Amino acid sequence: MKAPWPHPLIAREGWLFLAIAVGVSFLTAYFFGWWSLPLWLVTLFILQFFRDPAREVPDDPRAVVAPADGRIVEVSRSEDPYLRRQALKVSVFMNVFNVHSNRSPVDGVVKERWYFPGAFVNAALDKASLSNERNAIWLRTREGADITCVQVAGLIARRILCYVGAGAELTRGQRFGFIRFGSRVDVYLPIDAQVKAAIGEKVFAAESVLAWLTTTPSSSRK
């Protein structure tokens, strides 16, 4: 099925940046001709960075889909620092050439949202999960499975955008946020989830399946 996609091909977060870049490039071309070429290259970079294509979402309700485009940099058993539980952690690293829209990994209700200021170390490093600026949302599926999805700022990312709070209902693949200029998204899954993703694998938001949830979760928070 198609993911909910209320935005045009270019994400709304990039409209102002693109308008400024195009305007400056046109003015420079008008007055200085070919000297505007570097500015047009910057404009093309901004255009590709803020692209926001529609995606096909798997129909299986047990599927946990990638919340972001990028490369898998971690698959491990880990402590979920937000729900204080043992969990399976899958991390997606986004470089500046990936689509930076963030999508919900599951159908669920947002139970809580947390924001933490922090540093801006390389998002590909494991320590970025707890050291960097980050925004976390706790999602609960209809079957009672708990998933924590964490937007983590990167080395040059300076703005995490999240448009949902407690009580919001999200569907798999639905857009809920955006991170500007390189970053990471961590997903903490129930310990009995069947992880499909592998380190080094390239994934696409809303389309790639990271894991499969069991139909009867072993535990959940109240």
Q: How do the domains of the chain map onto residue ranges?
A: 12-49, 63-212
Mapping DSSP onto H, E and C, the string for 128-148 reads HHHHECEEEEEEECCCCCEEE
What is the pLDDT confidence band of residue 127, given thresholds at 50, 70 and 90?
Answer: low
19 vs 2, more confident? 19
Q: If you average pLDDT over every residue of the chain, what do you get? A: 86
Asked if 152 contacts 82 with a C-beta cutoff of 8 angstroms, the reply is no
Whether 4 has a pLDDT exceeding 90, the answer reads no
CATH homologous superfamily of 63-212 equals Glucose Permease (Domain IIA) (2.70.70.10)
Q: Is 219 helix (H, G, I), strand (E, B) or coil?
A: coil
CA-nearest of 11, 6, 108, 105 to 58 is 105
Catalytic residue (choose from 183, 208, 219, 220): 183
Summarize pLDDT for 143-167 with one digit per residue, the tens: 999 999 999 986 655 678 899 999 9
What is the pLDDT confidence band of residue 124, given thresholds at 50, 70 and 90?
Answer: low
Asked if 178 contacts 15 with a C-beta cutoff of 8 angstroms, the reply is no
CA-nearest of 148, 147, 156, 151 to 133 is 151
Write down the pTM of the prediction: 0.83
The confidence score (pLDDT) of residue 219 equals 46
Helix intervals (H) in 65-119: none
Summarize pLDDT for 70-88 with one digit per residue, the tens: 999 999 999 999 999 999 9
183 is annotated as an active-site residue: yes
Q: 51-55, 129-133, 178-182: lowest mean pLDDT where?
A: 129-133
Q: 91-95, 126-130, 176-180, 216-220: lowest mean pLDDT where?
A: 216-220
1 vs 68, more confident? 68
The confidence score (pLDDT) of residue 218 equals 46
The confidence score (pLDDT) of residue 117 equals 81
The confidence score (pLDDT) of residue 216 equals 54
